[in-house]
Amino acid sequence: MKVNFLFRILKKIIPENLKKNSFLRKGLALIANIFYGFPAKKLFLIGVTGTTGKTTTAFMIKKILDDGGITTGLISTAGYFLKNEVIPVMSQGPGTTPDPFYLNSLLRRMVKEGIKVAVIEVSSFGLMYWRVYGFPFKVAVLTNIDYNHHVKLHGSMDNYVKEKLKLFRMLKPQDLAVLPRESKYFELFKNNTQARLKPFDLEQNQDWQLQLKISSKFNILNALAAINAVSDFPLNKEQIKKSLESIESIPGRGEFINSSASFKIIVDKANTPLAFQNIIDWIKNDLKPEKTIAVYGTFNESPLEEREKLAQLATDFFDLTIITEDDPKNEAPDQGIKDFLQFAKKNQIHPNKYLTIVDRREAIKEALSRAAKNDLVIILGRGNEKLMYYKNKAVPFDDREVVQDILKEFHYLS
Domain assignment present for residue 224? The answer is: yes
Instruction: State whether 231 and 266 are in the same domain.
Output: no
First-last CA distance in the chain: 41
Give percent above pLDDT 90 in the chain: 80
Last residue of a domain, one of 245, 272, 289: 245
DSSP letter, residue 256: E
Q: Please compute the mean of the pLDDT values over residues 124-149 and round it to a whole number.
A: 93
Confidence of residue 302 (pLDDT cuts 50, 70, 90): confident
Neighbours of 192 (CB within 10 A): 17
pLDDT band for position 88 (cuts 50, 70, 90)? confident
Same domain, 212 and 146: yes
Residue 250 lies in a domain: no
Q: With 90 as the cut, is the pLDDT of residue 376 above it?
A: yes
> Are 155 and 261 contained in the same domain?
no
Residues 236 and 260 in one domain: no
User: What pLDDT sits at residue 93?
Assistant: 52
Please write the tens of the pLDDT for every residue from 338-364: 999 999 999 999 999 999 999 999 999
- What is the residue range of 339's domain? 255-409
Indicate whether 333 pLDDT > 70.
Answer: yes
In a shared domain, residues 395 and 306: yes
Mean pLDDT score of the chain: 92
> For residues 292 and 279, what is the distance between their CA atoms, to the nearest angstrom?
12
What order of strands is seen across the sheet that includes strand 137-142?
Answer: 86-87, 79-81, 72-76, 117-121, 44-49, 137-142, 176-180, 196-200
**What is d(CA 28, CA 355) in angstroms, rounded to the nearest whole number?**
47
Is 69 inside a domain boundary?
yes
Count the domains in the chain. Answer: 2
Domain boundary among 223, 245, 267: 245
Residues 383 and 252: beta-carbon distance below 8 Å: yes
3-state class percentages of the chain: helix first, strand second, coil last, to nearest 5: 45, 15, 40
Instruction: Tell me if 393 is assigned to some domain.
Output: yes
**In angstroms, rounded to a whole number, what is the distance separating the alpha carbons of residues 320 and 340?**
14
In a domain, 414, yes or no: no
168-193 residue pLDDT tens: 999 999 999 999 999 999 999 999 99
Residue 148 · residue 185 · CB < 8 Å: no
The whole model's pTM is what?
0.89
Q: Residue 15 is part of a domain; what is its CATH number?
A: 3.40.1190.10
Q: What is the CATH number of the domain that holds 352?
A: 3.90.190.20
- What was the pLDDT predicted at 4? 54
* 157 vs 168: CA distance, rounded Å: 18
185 and 228 belong to one structural domain = yes
209 and 260 in a single domain? The answer is no
Q: Which of 219, 245, 271 is the last residue of a domain?
A: 245
What distance lies between CA 240 and its chain's CA centroid? 23
Statement to judge: residues 37 and 117 lie in one domain: yes
37-84 pLDDT tens trace: 999 999 999 999 999 999 999 999 999 999 999 999 999 998 899 998
User: What is the rounded distance in angstroms from the CA atom of residue 331 to the CA atom of residue 202?
Assistant: 41
| In a shared domain, residues 9 and 52 | yes
pLDDT of the residue at 392: 87
For residues 27 and 173, state if they share a domain: yes
Is 92's pLDDT higher than 60? no
Q: In this predicted structure, what is the pLDDT of residue 96?
A: 79
Contact 112, 151 (CB under 8 A): no
The verdict on 156 and 265 lying in the same domain is: no
**3-class state of residue 63 by DSSP:** helix
- Give a yes or no: residue 289 inside a domain: yes
Instruction: Answer yes or no: do 147 and 282 share one domain.
Output: no
